[in-house]
Structure 1
Amino acid sequence: MQLDRTVDRGALGAAAVTVVLWASAFVVIRTAGHHFSPGAMALGRLLAGSVTLGVIMIVTGERIPPRAAWRGILISGVLWFACYMVALNWAEQMIDAGTAAMVINIGPILIALLGGMFLGEGFAPRLFAGMAVSFGGAVVVGLSTSHGGGAALLGVVLCLLSAAAWAVSVVAQKPALRHASPLQVTTFGCTVGAICCLPFAGQLVDDVAAAPLSATLGVVYTGVLPTAVAFTAWAYALSRTSAGKLGVTTYAVPALVVFLSWAVLGEVPGPLTILGGALCLAGVAVSRSKPRGV
């Protein structure tokens, strides 16, 4: 089995930064979720990210993106920066960070599918076989969490919804990057997400007042590094390679999250959950592989 590794080096470096920072976010969200509601945490993260990105925009002299970029910015702002983050925060209040990361990482298959349909990137020969394996893995994860009751199953469903929101947003973001810089697309997408989450402002004020400083700083951290830095790095990488190829670089996120969860939180997914997560990732690998001789 031969994987397609033709990824621009600059894009690969930016993707590596994104992978490490996103992995850390899963663990911080799990910790801060004991003190912040899902919507409040998303708003706090997006506000911190918007302020950080706004400062960078001013320092670098970037301007408002042209009109042609706004469709992709609005879609990614609503679905990725707002809906994805609220859903992920909610999911991690019901399932551990490692399980969430494994389920969400069926996203690259959906990105490849949508990229082939709407961006003209074509379909990998084994895409649909990989989809079947990954979704089978998601079913196994769902079964493995069934002992946790309806809440755990809801957590898995929320992760699947997050994966779908991520995939749609990446495909919408790709055309926007033809008209605007990665920093512009990320800054205004983050700002749109923050505006969408403003109904949670009252909860955020209450949660900050009651939460320990460490939890509040954790929320700020997710806004500055896993959002402002990582999402900009992702947009930069996406501007230099195809959506399908870039999605593959997130293979490493679940492994990093499981390791960090074990080291920091003492949480390790059960054997059946790990099997299901492995199937999810194996499906992504199959979907991006080429038949022998190709």
Structure 2
Amino acid sequence: MDVTTTQATVKFDAKVVAAASTTVVLWASAFVAIRDAGDAFGPGALALGRLLTGAVALLALLLVRGEGVPPRAAWPGILGSGVLWFGLYMVALNWGEKEVDAGTAAMVVNIGPVLIALLGGWLLKEGFPRSLLAGMAVSFAGAVVVGASTSGGGSSVLGIVLCVVAAVAYASGVVSQKPALRHASPLQTTAFGCLVGAVACLPFAPQLVDQVGHAPLRAVLDMVYLGLFPTALAFTTWAYALSRTTAGKMGATTYAVPALVVLMSWIVLGEVPGWLALLGGLLCLGGVAVSRRR
């Protein structure tokens, strides 16, 4: 019996690791695709196109699998994550990446795990250990260094501020989503969260219709890719893993995203942040590491 239990645990952990790894790689690629499509689409239009693509794919899969509407108890979390994470996060990130390169944006957004821990301590009554407060201070200093390194004017500072807003929306969305997964499946939570985000972005519909008619094919394919893979697939694998572990541990899996983004943006876009920006990014990651110390 002990052997069987151990094998089951290993198998379970392997599924969670595979799901989390899929999410990390696809989310890293999203930073590059957003940067690539940013010249053709406005922040809101790109977010809406991405969310509509993802919602159609997810709802179709939901019908095929025969999963219905989530129970009432799941809706507060679905609405919160839909508006904050699928809606506000994507618009803020798209806008921020018009002002800073993909690698820098990923570094700043990756203070999200610290914020997840902070919100968990407040909303889930997990407390505020000294390591968390110290980590927040280090990560904030890193964001300031990144902003100083990239600012040739106010626009770059605006980009850093928008990426910080995206990080706050991301953390708030994770904390909102976690309770919903107690009542609904990962697919239900992701599909309807994506749909809520798309509805929240509908004011950008006229802009999307106008821009998609003039956008080059590559930018349109970027938008479709963002909807199918970093949204529909990656958010579902994230929800699957989140439903089987804590929000803090899932947040920690995203530490690898900035390094992957820098590598991908160098290969695809020819973008590499400056040394001072890299130092600021390391401070952001260092603050996250300090916050996770016991």
User: Given the two structures, how large is their TM-score scaled by the length of structure 1?
Assistant: 0.94
Q: Could you tell me which residue of structure 1 aligns to residue 46 of structure 2? A: 41
Contact 1:136-1:280 within 8 A present in 2 as well: yes
- Structure 2 match to 1:3: none
Aligned 1:233-272 pairs, distance under 5 A = 233-272=237-276
Q: Show CA shifts across 1:176-207 (max 9, x none).
A: 10000110110000000000111111111111
TM superposition shift of 1:121: 4.2
Name the counterpart of 1:145.
150
Q: State the partner residue of 1:56.
A: 61
Distance 2:132 2:200 in 1: 34
In the other structure, the counterpart of 1:92 is: 97
Q: Tell me how far 1:10 sits from its aligned partner.
A: 2.6
- Distance in 1, matches of 2:250 and 2:14, equals 12
Provide the rounded CA distance (Å) in 2 between the counterparts of 1:17 and 1:112. 23
Which blocks of at least 5 consecutive residues in structure 1 are unaligned? 1-6
Secondary structure in structure 1 of the residue aligned to 2:243? helix
Where structure 2 has 5 or more consecutive residues not aligned to the other structure, the ranges are 1-11
Aligned counterpart, 2:292: 288
Displacement of 1:286: 1.1
Deviation per residue, 1:248-272 (Å, 9 max, x gap): 0001000000001111101110110
Q: State the AA in 2 paired with 1:245.
A: K
Amino acid at match of 1:34: D
Which aligned pairs between 1:1-294 and structure 2 lie closer than 5 A?
A: 8-123=13-128, 126-147=131-152, 149-290=153-294
* Offset at residue 110 of structure 1 (A): 0.3
Q: How many angstroms does 1:101 deviate by?
A: 0.2
Contact preservation (8 Å) 1:119, 1:171: no
SS at match of 2:273: coil
- The one-letter code matched in structure 2 to 1:250 is T
C-alpha distance in 1 between matches for 2:193 and 2:172: 14
Local SS of the residue matching 2:213: helix
The CA deviation at 1:122 is 4.7
**Residue type of the alignment partner of 2:116:** I
Count of equivalent residues: 284
Q: Distance in 1 between matches of 2:110 and 2:145?
A: 15
DSSP-derived class of the 1:108 partner: helix
Aligned-residue offset at 1:115: 1.2
Question: Matched residues in 2 for 1:132 and 1:143: separation?
Answer: 17
Task: Specify the code of the residue in structure 1 equivalent to 2:272.
Answer: V
Deviation string, structure 1 residues 212-249 (Cα, Å, up to 9, x no partner): 11110110100000000000111111111111111000
Counterparts of 2:223 and 2:126, CA distance in 1: 36
Q: Mean Cα displacement is larger for which, 117-126 or 270-279?
A: 117-126
Deviation string 1:15-59 (CA, Å, 9 cap, x unpaired) is: 110000000000000000010111110000000000000111011
Per-residue deviation, residues 127-161 of structure 1 (Å, max 9, x unmatched)? 111111111101111111222x1111100000000
Give SS of 1:210's match.
Answer: coil
Taking the aligned partners of 1:22 and 1:97, their CA distance within structure 2 comes to 12
The letter for the 1-side match of 2:247 is A
Q: Which deviates more from structure 2 when the two are superposed, residues 115-124 or residues 242-251?
A: 115-124
The residue type paired with residue 227 of structure 1 is T
- CA distance in structure 2 between the partners assigned to 1:277 and 1:17 by the alignment: 23
Measure how far apart 1:113 and its partner are.
1.1
